[in-house]
Structure formats: structure tokens, C-alpha cells
Homo-oligomer: A and B are copies of this chain.
């Protein structure tokens, strides 16, 4: 299938009847150009949040298995409506749930990982020239139980299908024109980025640019599937994400990201013995909770504090685990902080230039913003700060790296 494209439409792109018809017309414009099309859809608009509210109306602590049964209906509604809209315009379309197209996952309800895709049925329908619509975000485990892939899981469905079907391009449609140097709602001078490497996009996604889910970018990188993030309501080109190009070496900072969905846990006065940290984080990992940053201070007294950040949605679960552990290992008390934000700068060029971190810290200091945690990688620097300072921080960093200017004219800090 050489002319196959996988297109993924997010919730805002199919929020209502008008949006769905708009998406149908865009799909048809590709069909007319001769492309074979597999379309992945999210739940419409706020459907997932509405379903979560429903669940919490009957219980404070919904069972994960049943939550997945419930949440998976959102995409099923979208896929049927989009298929109907295409049929209405005279095009053959057929919709499938994750279970129906054999998106086989592991057993981790609410955060399942795809282990295999049985693409037989999709290929059959593509051969019949049909437009194939697939529910994003969901799969089925080997016991035939419905699973979901976690927030943003529709992206991974799209990329995994592109891989399974041999598509070279995967378009991710959203309600913005592409990936920006910063969130335009925070920094009005932010510019759209034309091209990014997988690694840069990965850091940006991971760090809070909510355009794409990070696992899906990892998979795209692994199988070299070109991604295009673009706006379903405009004809503009979007942002291409692909292998690192040579010209990128000159760029220092590509963008600033902010993530306000994490919380910080601190375990105070932990005995500083080998294996203690490992025990704590093994317990947390076995509860399927992802840890982001970890900081352990140097110990002078034989005891130390360990801090780490996780998604706020996991906070309750994690605190329970950590409190039990604290008792066992003889730590003092456990603190939680929900009011944090993580601001990060990302850029491939960073790895061979010093001074980026210094410029970032200076920009924050000049605005009187206190840094609570720092973490760095080859292509990013992240600082945890007070949530209330997040907007101020993004603006200051955007300015100090001159991200509002076209790439070539920026000063290297």
C-alpha cells in the first residue's frame, strides 16, 4: 500500500456535527487524490471527561476494568458518526472498535500497551476501497477484555497502525496549526515550528506541550514514521516531525514547554542506605505509576530527603504507597505538593553549547522565581517552580532565547 496515509483526529476536531462534516470533507479531499486512508478518532470534545464524571457519580473509586469499558464508548460514538458522515457524502466508510481490528494490548487497564495489531480486517476493507475508521485509545487484551491506552492514547493507535500497515506518513490533526516555540495562550509572540526532530518533539511532548502523546513519538521514531501535526480547521502546513537533519545543529533552543499536571512528593529523613530508593521506586512502579523527576539531596547526617514528581491523577495512590514504605524503612514524614509547574527548554543544538542553563536560570531569577527542582538531559533543561509563576516563567524564557524571531536571526546565548 504505497499511497496509504493514517490520519488521526483529536477530540476538538470532531466535537460536534459541524466539525465531523468538516473532517469528512478533508478526508474525501485525500481520497480524491488517490490515497488509501485509515482514520483514527478520539472521543468527541469533552466526552471522556463527561464519562469520568458519570463514573464518579456512582463511586469514588471506579474499578479500572470497568472504567475502560466505560471510557471506550467515547471513541465508538465518534467513529460511527464520522463513518455515517462519509457515507452521507457518497463515500464508502466502515468503522471498527479496537477489539474488532485486533489491537491486542497487555492487561494494564487504563494504561495498556499495544503488543500486537492484527491488520487483516483493515487490509480487506482497504482493498474494497473503503475508508477505514478506527477507534483510538482502546484495545483488547488476550482475555477479550476492553483496555484503554491512557490519555492521548489515540496518537499511539494512529502511529501503531501506520507501522502495522506500512504507511510512511501519519497526520495528527488538532485545533492548532502545529507545534509552537511556546504555548501561544501563554506567550503571544510564540511562533509555529516548521520542522522538528523526533527527540525534540519527544521532550516537548513529555514536558507538557499537549500536542502529541510522548509514547507515540517514541514509536514513530523507532519505525521512522514521518509525523505531521496540523490543524483540522485550516489548510496550513503544520509541523513535520522526522529524523534529525544536519541544519538543525545550528538551532539552540526550539521551544519552551510547561506542564502543570504533575505533583511532588517528598519523603523526609530517609536512612541513607543502599537499596532504599530502589525499594521505594519499585513499589511505585509495580502500581503502574510513572515517575518523572527524582531528586535526592546529598546526605551529611546519614539521613536524606527524596523528592519526586508524578502525574496528579496518581498522587493519592502514590502517597498511600509511600506512607506505608516510610514506616517500613523508618523515614519521618511524607509531604505532597500539588501546586507545582515544570518549565523546560528543548533543543537539539543544546548538547554542544554551554550557557543555555545559565541563561534560563538567570531569566527566572530576574523575575524572582524560585527553582525547586532541576533536571537536565542532552536536549532539555527542566525546572520545577511554583505553579503561580508558570506563565511569568514561560514568557521570560521565551524572550531570553528570542524564540519570537525566525531561527536564523536569533542570538546564541
Contact = CB atoms under 8 A, between A and B. Distances in A.
Contacts of A81: 54-55, 58, 66, 70
Interface stretch (A93-101, A294-302, A326-334): A93-101
Contacts of A95: 66, 69
A79 to B, nearest CB: 7
Nearest to A82: B58
Contact of A59 (B57, B62, B88): B88
A51 interface: yes
A260 interface: no
Interface string A57-73: 11111110111011011
A63 B90 CA distance: 11
Is the interface on chain A under 10, 10 to 19, 20 to 34, or 35 or more residues?
A: 35 or more
Interface of A is mostly: helix
B88 A17 contact: no
A112 to B, nearest CB: 16
A321 interface: no
Interface in A81-113: 81, 83-85, 87-88, 94-95, 97, 99-100
Nearest to A78: B70
A57 B65 CA distance: 32
A280 interface: no
A21 interface: yes
Contacts of A174: none
A58 B84 contact: yes
Nearest to A20: B58
A324 B125 CA distance: 33
A176 to B, nearest CB: 24
A83 B55 CA distance: 10
What is the copy number of this chain in the assembly? 2
Given A73-B73, A77-B73, A84 B55 contact: yes
A181 interface: no
Contact of A76 (B61, B67, B70, B84): B70
A121 B145 CA distance: 11
B77 A70 contact: yes
B21 A58 contact: yes
Given A77-B54, A94-B65, A100-B144, A88 B60 contact: yes
B77 A63 contact: no
A222 to B, nearest CB: 30
A7 to B, nearest CB: 18
Nearest to A87: B63
B79 A69 contact: yes
Contacts of A65: 94
A80 interface: yes
Contacts of A76: 69-70, 72-73, 76
15 contacts: A17-B54, A20-B58, A54-B81, A55-B84, A58-B88, A61-B88, A63-B83, A66-B81, A66-B84, A69-B76, A69-B80, A69-B83, A69-B97, A70-B80, A97-B146
Nearest 9 CB-CB pairings of A with B: A59-B88, A70-B80, A17-B57, A73-B73, A69-B80, A58-B85, A66-B80, A66-B83, A63-B87
Given A66-B80, A72-B76, A99-B99, 10 more contacts: A17-B58, A55-B81, A59-B87, A63-B83, A63-B84, A66-B87, A66-B95, A69-B79, A70-B84, A73-B77
